[in-house]
Amino acid sequence: MNQRTIKKSVEVVGIGLHKGEPIKLKLEPLGIDAGIVFYREELALSIPLAPSSVINTQMATVIGSEKGSISTIEHFLSAVYAYGIDNMRVVVNGNEIPIMDGSANSFCLLLDEAGIKEQEASKQVIRIKKTVEVTDGDKFVRLKPSDSVTFDFEIDFEHPVIGQQSQSYAFGTKPFIDEIARARTFGFARDIQYLQSINLALGASLNNAIGLDDEKVLNPEGLRFDNEFARHKILDAMGDMMVMGHNVLGAYESFAGSHKLNHELTVKLLADSANYEMVTLNRVQSRAFAKSFA
C-alpha cells in the first residue's frame, strides 16, 4: 500500500466551538513525505503535525506556538486517520477547526468529496514494539504490540444517562464510518454556562454536541448510539494518535482517558526508539491491515 493524499482541493465553512464565528476549512493535496501540515491563512503560519506542536490539551488538542495556534483538531484528525491520509495541507482562517455537528461525519464527507489519491511511495506506519502506558490515578491510556489495529475504551461517569460504558473497535475505514464517525462530543449544561461566561464555548449548541443536565439528554432527537459517549472517546483517541502523523499498528486501550493522557502517551512512545519502529506496509505484510483502508 502506498502513501495517500487527496485528489483535489475542497473546502467547507463551519462554526468554531469556542469563538462561535464562521471558519473556513480547506484541504489541499501535498506531495510524497510532506506529512499533514496545518496552515493559519490569515497569519501565513504553517504548523507541522507532531506531538512537539501540541501546546494545550485542557479542553481539546491544540497545536501551535506563540505565533499562533489551531484548536479542536482531534475530530478532524480521526477522519484523516481512518482514511489513511499521509500528506495534506489543512488551511483555516481562524484559530480552530470548525466543530460541524460535533462528530467526524462531516469530515468524512469532505474527504469523500476530495477523493483519495495513491502516491508513488510506500506508506509508513508506527509499529508498536513494547507496551507503553500513562496513568493518572485509576485512569490510563496504553499502546500494546499487536498484528491488528484495535481501540478499546471504557468510561465511568456518575450520571444516569452515561454511567459505565465501553466500546471496542477493530480498525477499518468503513467500520469507522458506520460505528464511530457519527458519535458526537458531549458537555454538561452547567459547564457550558461557566465557559460561556469567560468567552469560551461560544459556538456550543445542541446542533454540535450532546447536551446534558443533571438527569437527562437535552437534545430533542436523543442519542445516535446507546453508548455514543464511549464511541466518541474512541474518535478522540484516534485523532490524538494521528498527531504523530502516521497510522499506528498496535492496540490502544483506555479507561477514562483524555486529550492530556493521549498526548503524554504519544510523547512517551516516541521518546524511546525501543518502543516502536517505522515500517512500510510492504514490510508488515499484513493484507488485513492494508485492506482496512479500502
d(CA 50, CA 64): 10
| Contacting residues for 277 by C-beta, under 8 A, at least 6 apart | 126, 127, 129
Burial class (CB in 10 A: 0-12, 13-18, 19+), 271: exposed
d(CA 136, CA 139): 5
Catalytic residue among 75, 232, 246, 259: 259
In the annotation, is 246 catalytic? Answer: no
Sign of the Cα torsion 14, 17, 21, 25 reads: negative
Q: What are phi and psi of 223, to 5 degrees?
A: -95, 155
Amino acid letter, residue 151: F
Q: Report which of 89, 34, 42, 90 is spatially closest to residue 67, judged by C-alpha positions.
A: 42
The percent of the chain in helix, strand and coil, each rounded to the nearest 5, is 25, 35, 40
d(CA 236, CA 137): 21
Instruction: Report DSSP state, residue 201.
Output: S
Distance of CA 242 to the CA centre of its chain: 7
- Residues annotated catalytic, as ranges: 259
